[in-house]
Amino acid sequence: MLALGKLLELTLAGREPAEKTQLTVDGVRMRWLSEGALEVRPAQGQDSGTDLLLSAGIHGNETAPIELLDLLLRDIARGDLVPRVRILFLFGNPEAMRRGERYVEQDVNRLFNGRHEQTSGFEALRACELERLADSFFSLPDRYRVHYDLHTAIRGSKIEQFALYPWKEGRQHSRRELARLQAAGMKAVLLQNKPSIVFSSYTYDKLGAESFTLELGKARPFGQNQQVNLTMLEICLTELIEGSEPEIGNLSLEGLQLFSVAREIIKHSDAFQLNLPDDVENFSELEQGFVLANDLADSRWVVEEQGARIIFPNPNVKNGLRAGILIVPTTADQLV
């Protein structure tokens, strides 16, 4: 196997490869760009016209998707998987990965779309570098652009595998992309309705990619992900990479649960209280009239929406950041 196929090993060791460019026996070109970043180009005449960005490790302790990207890259380096798409593999926060922590100083996935310019530190610099790498990768004209940012959650979930689909004014969510997510094992998709500061929102809004944050189970250390079943996602990514995807059917999306954002719960001060158990699961239903949170000046968040659920509840975020999202069921009627 080519040495560049061991990108994860190099990243965890903090080493640069001796050779920055290598070719597989099939003529696939692998090029090391910077720490945790590797570009793969198909052999001459084999390019299908798609650019695929695969990122993981934006949170360093979310290891199952990191291991999946390592598996795919090793298969390419051995010649067992022959790409017909350009791919950029990114491990987002190498230092946090080495420490087995979500982040070191700042949550990298809250530093995109201009936020890294408002702060300092190596994680702000890394967010800037990730934007630069994505900009460069998606700079070729007339290409179909796809970005999957792979995560696992810090808590359990009543719907274990789901996706978040970013939003941009004037751009509609794609029924075809939702069908691909369903084929990849996603049971639910949250259709967002405002700009965000996460990585997938940046590539969707600024670079024109079909971009998604994928939540794939619960975060566990390296080597302990036996309970995280990524078989359907691995098959889907393999087919996408080698250009062997089956034709998607009538795009009915039957069985795929769709949600929209009702409100974001913002923590304004140290007085903020989230009135949920510490072990509450994502997609837990909330009764109308329930006082979800309290903050300064007797401000309260009261559940008004019918069928409301909570995802990403986290009262320990910094002031000014999102401490949870209220979501409600929606339909596919407006999709294209």
Domain identity same for 35 and 109: yes
Of 242, 257, 292, the domain-final residue: 242
Residue 47: closest CA among 85, 73, 76:
85
Return the active site residues. 215
Domain identity same for 308 and 171: no
CATH code assigned at 25: 3.40.630.10
Quote the pTM value: 0.94
Which residues contact residue 132 at a Cβ distance below 8 angstroms, ignoring those fewer than 6 apart?
Answer: none
Specify if 259 maps to a domain.
no
pLDDT band at 215 (very low <50, low <70, confident <90, very high): very high
Residue 81: closest CA among 219, 241, 211, 225:
241
C-alpha–C-alpha distance, residues 279 and 167, integer Å: 29
pLDDT band at 334 (very low <50, low <70, confident <90, very high): low
> 110-150 pLDDT, tens per residue?
999 988 988 899 999 999 999 999 999 999 999 999 999 99
C-alpha–C-alpha distance, residues 216 and 152, integer Å: 5
Q: Which residues of 103-124 are buried (b: 16+ CB within 10 A; e: fewer)?
A: bbebbbbbbbbeebeeeeeebb
Phi, psi of 2 (to 5 degrees): -65, 145
Domain identity same for 37 and 173: yes
Domain identity same for 174 and 77: yes
Domain identity same for 281 and 235: no
Q: Residue 170 has which token pair?
A: 């004037």
Domain identity same for 165 and 297: no
Q: Which of 115-124, 245-254, 290-299 has the lowest mean pLDDT?
A: 245-254
Domain identity same for 296 and 172: no
For residue 12, give its domain range.
Answer: 3-242
Of 191, 207, 242, the domain-final residue: 242
Domain identity same for 143 and 272: no
